[in-house]
């Protein structure tokens, strides 16, 4: 237990050192939630906190894999996936925002492929960009059918479409192995979509109560939109920094 706590605190310190600015943005957003949605503040705080914990366990998983401790890494991966799933399920039942949950099957398949590749050194070639894209289109088509045919309230606004597209695209990117360039491009586009979509969802929820619009389609703050705005934003900033630093190094080598 002490080793687990130590690893957890180490990852938090590393995250805080690299992403100190995200806590400032988070505090500002939570103050807005407290002022505009006081009755939703506690649930939003709990959901964003547990979402952050699940992300820390993902970082612990990556560290464990890096240290060849695959069994421990697998436990961290399973725990984080269960926690993510529980949060999405809660938000779905509580507020009807099921779009966060729609791509979980793709994430599970991508996790299985990456685990068998990293741990067993076996690549499941049937799980790839083509099969996960096809499966994503099938899932979305079924959801649209139920929305049109039975009036199921999902994808109620352009912002939820953007967020969901980013979630699906990121899951697809995780299924890409052996082509890091394609994986990187897919993940960057996915992160952009998630940040813009979830940021838009957050703005809609906060601005409605301030009388700035969306009165006929009033969303509510539930917490996951904050998480899907902030945490993908940190990854996006990190990737862009890494990308620009590589470009600078390459330019420096060319000059030399």
**What pLDDT score does 159 carry?**
85
Q: How far is CA 93 from its chain centroid? A: 19
Q: What is the pLDDT of residues 114-152, one digit of tens each?
A: 888 877 888 898 999 999 999 999 998 988 888 777 777
**What pLDDT score does 253 carry?**
42
What is the C-alpha separation between 96 and 77, in angstroms, rounded?
27
Give residue limits of the domains in the chain.
Answer: 2-244
**What pLDDT score does 251 carry?**
43
Q: What is the pTM assigned to this prediction?
A: 0.82
Q: Closest by alpha carbon to 120, among 82, 74, 151, 158?
A: 74
Q: What is the DSSP letter of 117?
A: I
What is the C-alpha separation between 226 and 15, in angstroms, rounded?
18
What is the C-alpha separation between 50 and 92, in angstroms, rounded?
16
What's the number of CA atoms in the CB half-sphere (13 Å) around residue 128?
9
Tell me the pLDDT band of 49, cut-offs 50, 70 and 90.
very high
Q: What is the pLDDT of residues 54-81, one digit of tens each?
A: 888 888 887 787 777 777 877 887 888 8
Q: Closest by alpha carbon to 235, among 64, 101, 62?
A: 62
């Amino acid at each position: 237990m002490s080793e687990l706590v130590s690893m957890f605190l180490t990852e938090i310190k590393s995250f805080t050192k690299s992403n100190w600015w995200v806590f400032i943005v988070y505090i500002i957003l939570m103050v807005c939630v407290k002022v505009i949605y006081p009755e939703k503040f506690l649930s939003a705080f709990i959901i964003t906190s547990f979402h952050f914990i699940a992300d820390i366990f993902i970082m612990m998983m990556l560290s464990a894999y890096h240290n060849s401790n695959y069994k421990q890494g697998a436990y961290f991966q399973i725990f984080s996936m269960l926690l993510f799933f529980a949060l999405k399920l809660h938000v779905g039942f509580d507020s009807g925002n099921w779009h966060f949950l729609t791509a979980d099957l793709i994430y599970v398949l991508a996790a299985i492929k990456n685990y068998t590749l990293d741990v067993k050194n076996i690549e499941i070639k049937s799980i790839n960009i083509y099969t996960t894209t096809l499966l994503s289109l099938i899932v979305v088509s079924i959801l649209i059918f139920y929305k049109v045919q039975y009036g199921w309230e999902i994808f109620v606004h352009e912002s939820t479409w953007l967020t969901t597209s980013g979630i699906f695209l990121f899951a697809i990117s995780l299924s890409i192995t052996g082509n890091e360039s394609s994986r990187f491009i897919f993940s960057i586009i996915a992160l952009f979509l998630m940040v813009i979509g979830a940021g838009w969802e957050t703005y809609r929820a906060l601005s409605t109560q301030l009388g700035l619009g969306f009165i006929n389609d009033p969303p509510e703050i539930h917490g996951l939109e904050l998480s899907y705005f902030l945490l993908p934003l940190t990854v996006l900033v990190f990737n862009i920094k890494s990308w620009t630093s590589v470009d600078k190094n390459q330019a420096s080598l060319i000059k030399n």
